[in-house]
Amino acid sequence: MHQRQKLRTSEHRSDLAAHGGALSMSHNDSRSFFNFSQLVLSAGQIKPSPALKHSKITYFEVEILDVQSKKQICIVDKVPPASTLLDVKHKFHKACPQWYPSRVGLQLERNGPFLKDSINIQSLAVSSIITLYFTDLGQQVGWTTFFLTEYTGPLLIYLLFYIRLSTIYDQVESRKNFRHPVVHLACFCHCLHYIRHLLETLFVHKFSEGHTPLKNMIKGCAFYWGFTSWIAYYINHPRYTPPSFGHRQVSYAALAFLMCEAGNHFINVALAHQTNSGSKTCFPSPTYNPFTWLFLLVSCPNYTYEAGSWISFTVMTQTLPAGIFAFLMVIQMSLWAKKKHKLYLKRFYPEVRRKAAMIPIIF
C-alpha cells in the first residue's frame, strides 16, 4: 500500500511537471513574441506618407496696349507676384525685340505718369489681368554717358580757341597782340570747372540705372557747347580788352570762383555720402567743413555754388557772352532747386521747412 501511494505521488508529480512545462513553454513563447514585436516597432514604425501641400501661386497676365490707338500689342503671361515692372519690360522685349527695355514707357492710364521700373507688379493688380499703356520713349542713353559727353565738349572746345587756331583767328594779328594774364587765368578756371564735373561724374555721383532720351543729351550738348564756343571766342580774341578795374577785379573774382568750386565739390561729396550710407531719414547736416555750412540756409547749396562760379567768372572776364550764360544758368539752377526743394519738403519736412531753395530769402 505504501508502494501504491508512492507510485501515485510520483505520477502526480510527473503530471504537475508535464503541466508546468507546458505552462512555461507557452509563457516563454508569449514573451518571445512580445520581444520580437517590440524589436520590429523599435526598428521603425510604418508611418503614413504625409499629404502634399499644394501651394497656390497666383500668376498675373499683363496686357500691353498702344497709348495712341488702344490696340493690343501683346500679352505677357505667367508673371509672378514678386516681379517688378522691369521684369515685365524684359519679357515684353522678348515678345517685341524692336523695343528695348530702356525705351519702353508704361502707364496705368493714358495721360498718367510713367511707372518706375522698381514698382512691384502686385501693387498694380486689381485682378489677375493688368492693363498697361505703352509709349515708345525713343533712343535712350545712360546718365553717365549723358554727363560725360555734355562736359567733355566744353573742355576741348575752349582749348581749341585758347591755342588760337589759324582757322579761327588771324594768325598775324594773334602774334602781334600780347595776351593779358586774365586770358590764361580764365582758361585755367574754365578747364578746372569741367574737369571737376567729369571727375565727380566718374567717382562721386551715383546714378541710377535709369536712362534719358537721346534728344535731351543733344539739347544739353548744343547749349553747353554753343555757349562755350561763344565765350571762348571773345575771351581768347586778339582784341580782347581786360576788365575795367584791372588786377583787383580779376583777383577777387578768381578767388570767389575757386571758393565756389571748392564748395560745390564738398557739397556733392556730402550728398553722395548721405545717399551711400542709406540714411534717408534726415537731411544732410553741416560738418566741420565751412563749405557745408550753407546747408543751414538753403536746401540746394550745390546749385548756389554753381551759380556763384559763373557769376564770378563773368566778373573776372567781363564779357557779354559769359554774362548771358551766367544769367541763364541762374534761372535754370533756381528752377531745379525749386523742384528739388519740394521733394525735400515731403521727405525732410522738419529740417527743410525754414530753408530757402537756392538763394536765401529770394528763392
Could you count the other beta carbons within 10 Å of the beta carbon of residue 187? 19
pLDDT for residue 16 is more than 60: no
Q: pLDDT higher for 66 or 39?
A: 66
| C-alpha cell recorded at residue 113 | 505718369
Lowest mean pLDDT among 38-47, 134-143, 248-257: 38-47
| Degrees, nearest 5: CA angle 234-240-242 | 115
Q: How far apart are CA 182 and CA 174, in angstroms?
A: 16
**CA torsion sign, 121 to 123 to 128 to 131?**
negative
Tell me, what's the pLDDT at 180?
92
pLDDT at 20: 47
- Residues 48-58 have pLDDT tens digits of 444 444 445 57
Q: At which residue does the C-alpha cell 495712341 appear?
A: 68
Instruction: Tell me the sheet residues that pair with 133.
Output: 65, 107
Question: In 10 A of CB 76, how many CB atoms?
Answer: 22
Secondary structure (3-state) at 194: helix
Mean pLDDT (whole number) for 262-270: 96
- Any idea where the domains of the chain sit in the sequence? 60-138, 141-241, 242-362
Give the per-residue pLDDT at 49. 45
| Among the ranges given (7-16, 129-138, 271-280), the one the predictor scored with the smallest mean pLDDT | 7-16
Q: Which fold has domain 60-138?
A: Ubiquitin-like (UB roll) (3.10.20)
Place 35 in a pLDDT band, splitting at 50, 70 and 90: low
Mean pLDDT of the chain: 84
In angstroms, the CA 98 to CA 210 distance is 19
* Residue 191 reports pLDDT greater than 70: yes
pLDDT at 28 over 60: no
Question: What order do you get walking across the sheet with 60-66 strand by strand?
Answer: 72-79, 60-66, 129-136, 104-107
CA atoms within 13 A on the CB side of 284: 26
pLDDT for the residue numbered 362? 57
Q: Best-predicted range by mean pLDDT among 10-14, 27-31, 80-84? A: 80-84
* Distance in angstroms (rounded) separating the CA atoms of residues 188 and 182: 10
Q: Measuring CA to CA, how many Å separate 56 from each of 80, 81, 88?
A: 12, 12, 21
Mean pLDDT over residues 273-302, rounded?
79
Confidence (pLDDT) at 281: 57
